[in-house]
Chains A and B, each alone.
Chain A
């Protein structure tokens, strides 16, 4: 389950529709049948066929008339509002699968902790059903936020992108001090923790950055594994669909050999490593 809203601004994010906490209109040109109903129906003249994202965002007041009348679903709402009860009803549909796979619910985002009060209620609901819970987080929150949810969490997939705070600040826009401190705190808690590192060419794919992350992970109590995730461009079209720029246009995904080398390096440091979580 993806929860909307994120305090970080990583340029490689593959879920740009989850960064903003509010619903957004996304345009998918492959589905458009050129019926032009959206132009006809929009009360604010906020539809422009010359725009790659189709919607003039500063004119649009999210009345959703265009989305409601777009029968081919080329225009869609990203983000729906729902109650804890409604969401648990949806999650319950797959309960039989959780039993077979020893699986459960993974809360991701955006940032799973962005709506932490809501998340807490969802987690309690999951636990009442006996489901396994996983939180995917970048950890940029006060310690109290983590403290609150830990009793209801089985596993953290904890993003650590960079140990050097200067570089972290420069690219992601915030300091990593709190992130690293929270990692230590979460690792020492009752929940399990796996470190996840997106490998971004030119940012953290060098030996030094990788080694530092591995060494940091080694020091975390009870942490047995790092999952490295190769940067990919699957999110690119979504940026355009939201009327946004894609800043990583010229960056290619790391090669398989490169990923294997990084994996080797991490394993040599004394901690297990997978590419993309594949054992």
Chain B
């Protein structure tokens, strides 16, 4: 093996330090558990502070958690801060929802994917805690705010707002840069200054004062939290006889004494300060997708300064970075069974993006951009979810480095197109500078860091189900033809294709309106019951406005629900138009009949629908334009509406892994899809239906309007490893990404693994514990996924050049 990898940038990136594998082994040797500590502490705190306004209750609760939770410095760590006592355990957040957990106590350790161990003692403790929260959760308030029609539509699988309905919101990138530069003491000063501006005479200023007090409480709490780690490190240093480790622990202690209270003075301190922010955000609320964003931009000055002054070697810097990468995987979260179906593989979606351009429009790639990709190659773990921003001036060697990382087969990095994202964000009201400075949240959702409450994962909306209802007079064939939507006529009453489209539009209008209503109910419930002072202290303009992000304090406010099933709708519409109305090969009555019976006894007819009508993903305008139209109808409905935080709705087109459960709720569809089977993932073609190679597939996908879907779109490609071999393979991959982006595609991600390997891993999971694959906007350990999701990944078309 070569000692270094030579780069054109003239940097030589170091080999992986031995410490990294030791840390990884320790981390992965533990089975995730349920840790009740946080649930107990927040409940005690609420009981102690019943009379306080909710924002202060939240602040006091976080303060108590940070003061009293068990802190651990794990062996060999250089960056410290634990979410739970044991690695990868899940804390519990009873204030959002908890009844599902009670119901699933006995299946958590047994279920197909994302297992968690739970002790009998923990069950007892949690039962007691949950009693306190009965009827007081955000979930229960949201339910009581929603109309019956909305609840029924969700039951039928027309859409789900499950993510924030049951959990915290997360989905944010805070001002890490500000904490690194000013420290929490700086934030306290800012809050104090804002308080001085308030008047006792103005009734509006009272809640502002409580908010600012809460900001100060949480900022002081996190400083004290770091102090506890300093003490612990000093204690351990005293105990150890290993001089090298003693020195390391004293360094850790020194760092924790200075940050995050004060500005970071070294790269190591900057990483430590960053980690406290990243960690405490997860302890405050269980929203996932708390994304580091443009890490290579705000962290680089600290690295550069240390390197320039010979304060650190590149080897040491890479090792520190790698240890942080391990740390990202220590964070975990338990989800209910339904959410686990939609988010399989213990994903935390901590999206970290490198490359792209500066707010001023120059290329932003630097040494740290390369080192971040290298850290992913060294650790080979699902977190952080690493992404690359691509634009016309991205350096060739950077793209070659990204291709190298892609070829590790982890499904990362994901690639994002500046040339689409920036105009799509300015179209939503961002300034040009802010749009150029976008990062990615969670899977594929762009936002300006430190200024945005994007509510990016607001819902998954089943466009294929809407088409199913449009063909059944608004009745749901999966529920004995219960009337769910408006009466728009049965399929057999349609005399032209235009009537099919009209019914689809009418159903869409109705269900999108219900979706908006559901989302806004959940949004209001969070504002009322779970405002987040710590998170808000790092998002503009919360301190200036004196209100939390949940109350509309962010500078930019959005709600982003996702349409799922683009390819199914396009393929279905094309089959109906061609075979029923144009060629009259199949009568509309016959179609209605075979769909109702899930093609039972009509396999030949199903094959005709599958093979004699064009399919999305083959660069055929006739069908691609219907997929575009089907998606546009959804997108245009969504963007009409506003949320309670004073912002607008913006559509996305990606599924996470919700294409599997939403497919399960959808009957047979006219493109030949059987009832209950998964929908197409993201804007990708239906697996196996794109038969004209990768260029045709991306050409089709690029025909969708990616600008209007400004909450993000998602294209999965799967390559056989042999297709990307050698430098040629990297160049071909980059050319494909480039030409997809030239045609105004938004995002592409690539699994590089053969179907044989995946099938083998399904059979012998023990031999493939470390196999990481791309699911949707995130990567996960393949063997931690449940079988239906594994099958869905295997069924994606394997492309070769």
- Determine which of B610, B695, B726, B728 lies in contact with A97 in the assembled complex, contact meaning CB atoms within 8 Å: B695
Residues 30 to 80 of chain A near chain B (Cβ within 8 Å)? 33, 35, 37, 71-73
Q: How far is the CA of A181 from the CA of B610 in the complex (A)?
A: 50
Q: How far is the CA of A102 from the CA of B739 in the complex (A)?
A: 11
Residues 733 to 763 of chain B near chain A (Cβ within 8 Å)? 734-736, 738-739, 742-743
Q: How far is the CA of A72 from the CA of B734 in the complex (A)?
A: 35
Given the known A-B contacts A96-B739, A97-B736, A100-B742, are A279 and B728 also in contact in the complex, defined by CB atoms under 8 Å? yes
- Determine which of A101, A102, A279 lies in contact with B726 in the assembled complex, contact meaning CB atoms within 8 Å: A279
Q: Which chain A residues lie closer than 8 Å to B695 at the CB level? A: 94, 97
Q: Which chain A residues lie closer than 8 Å to B696 at the CB level? A: 93-94
Is B725 part of the contact surface with A, judged by Cβ < 8 Å?
A: yes
Q: How far is the CA of A99 from the CA of B742 in the complex (A)?
A: 10
Is A11 part of the contact surface with B, judged by Cβ < 8 Å?
A: no
Is B608 part of the contact surface with A, judged by Cβ < 8 Å?
A: yes
Q: How far is the CA of A94 from the CA of B619 in the complex (A)?
A: 9
Question: Could you tell me if B731 and A101 are in contact, using CB atoms closer than 8 angstroms?
Answer: yes
- Determine which of A35, A93, A99, A102 lies in contact with B604 in the assembled complex, contact meaning CB atoms within 8 Å: A35
Is B732 part of the contact surface with A, judged by Cβ < 8 Å?
A: yes
Question: Could you tell me if A72 and B619 are in contact, using CB atoms closer than 8 angstroms?
Answer: no
Q: How far is the CA of A97 from the CA of B693 in the complex (A)?
A: 12
Is A277 part of the contact surface with B, judged by Cβ < 8 Å?
A: yes
Q: How far is the CA of A101 from the CA of B610 in the complex (A)?
A: 33
Is B151 part of the contact surface with A, judged by Cβ < 8 Å?
A: no
Q: How far is the CA of A148 from the CA of B772 in the complex (A)?
A: 53
Question: Could you tell me if B735 and A101 are in contact, using CB atoms closer than 8 angstroms?
Answer: yes
Residues 474 to 532 of chain B near chain A (Cβ within 8 Å)? none
Given the known A-B contacts A71-B611, A101-B732, are A33 and B603 also in contact in the complex, defined by CB atoms under 8 Å? yes
Minimal Cβ-Cβ distance residue in B for A277: B728
Question: Could you tell me if A71 and B731 are in contact, using CB atoms closer than 8 angstroms?
Answer: no
Q: Which chain B residues lie closer than 8 Å to A93 at the CB level? A: 619, 696, 699
Chain A contact-residue range equals 10 to 19
Q: Which chain B residues lie closer than 8 Å to A73 at the CB level? A: 607, 611
Chain B contact-residue range equals 20 to 34
Residues 248 to 300 of chain B near chain A (Cβ within 8 Å)? none
Q: How far is the CA of A278 from the CA of B724 in the complex (A)?
A: 9
Q: Shortest distance in angstroms between A231's beta carbon and chain B's nearest beta carbon?
A: 16
Is A103 part of the contact surface with B, judged by Cβ < 8 Å?
A: yes
Question: Could you tell me if A71 and B604 are in contact, using CB atoms closer than 8 angstroms?
Answer: yes
Q: Which chain A residues lie closer than 8 Å to B612 at the CB level? A: 71
Given the known A-B contacts A71-B612, A73-B611, are A279 and B727 also in contact in the complex, defined by CB atoms under 8 Å? yes
- Determine which of A71, A99, A103, A278 lies in contact with B725 in the assembled complex, contact meaning CB atoms within 8 Å: A278
Residues 580 to 633 of chain B near chain A (Cβ within 8 Å)? 603-605, 607-608, 610-612, 619
Is B14 part of the contact surface with A, judged by Cβ < 8 Å?
A: no
Q: Which chain B residues lie closer than 8 Å to A96 at the CB level? A: 739, 742-743
Q: Which chain A residues lie closer than 8 Å to B607 at the CB level? A: 33, 35, 71-73
Q: Shortest distance in angstroms between A26's beta carbon and chain B's nearest beta carbon?
A: 15
Residues 79 to 115 of chain A near chain B (Cβ within 8 Å)? 93-94, 96-97, 99-103
Minimal Cβ-Cβ distance residue in A for B725: A278
Question: Could you tell me if A99 and B739 are in contact, using CB atoms closer than 8 angstroms?
Answer: yes
Minimal Cβ-Cβ distance residue in B for A76: B611
Is B729 part of the contact surface with A, judged by Cβ < 8 Å?
A: yes
- Determine which of A71, A99, A276 lies in contact with B608 in the assembled complex, contact meaning CB atoms within 8 Å: A71
Q: Which chain B residues lie closer than 8 Å to A99 at the CB level? A: 739, 742
Q: How far is the CA of A97 from the CA of B731 in the complex (A)?
A: 12
Q: Shortest distance in angstroms between B731's beta carbon and chain A's nearest beta carbon?
A: 7
Q: Which chain B residues lie closer than 8 Å to A97 at the CB level? A: 695, 735-736, 739
Q: Which chain B residues lie closer than 8 Å to A102 at the CB level? A: 735
- Determine which of B611, B699, B739 lies in contact with A100 in the assembled complex, contact meaning CB atoms within 8 Å: B739
Q: Shortest distance in angstroms between B737's beta carbon and chain A's nearest beta carbon?
A: 9
Q: Which chain A residues lie closer than 8 Å to B727 at the CB level? A: 279
Residues 233 to 276 of chain A near chain B (Cβ within 8 Å)? 276
Q: How far is the CA of A33 from the CA of B742 in the complex (A)?
A: 42
9 tightest CB-CB pairs across the interface, nearest first? A101-B735, A71-B607, A71-B608, A278-B726, A72-B607, A100-B735, A100-B739, A100-B738, A97-B739
Q: List 14 A-B contacts (CB under 8 A).
A: A33-B603, A37-B604, A71-B612, A72-B607, A94-B699, A96-B739, A96-B742, A100-B735, A100-B736, A101-B736, A102-B735, A278-B729, A279-B726, A279-B728
- Identify 20 new A-B residue pairs, CB closer than 8 A, beyond the known A71-B607, A72-B610, A93-B696: A33-B604, A33-B607, A35-B603, A71-B608, A71-B611, A71-B612, A96-B739, A96-B742, A96-B743, A97-B695, A97-B735, A99-B742, A100-B736, A101-B732, A101-B735, A101-B736, A102-B735, A278-B725, A278-B726, A278-B728
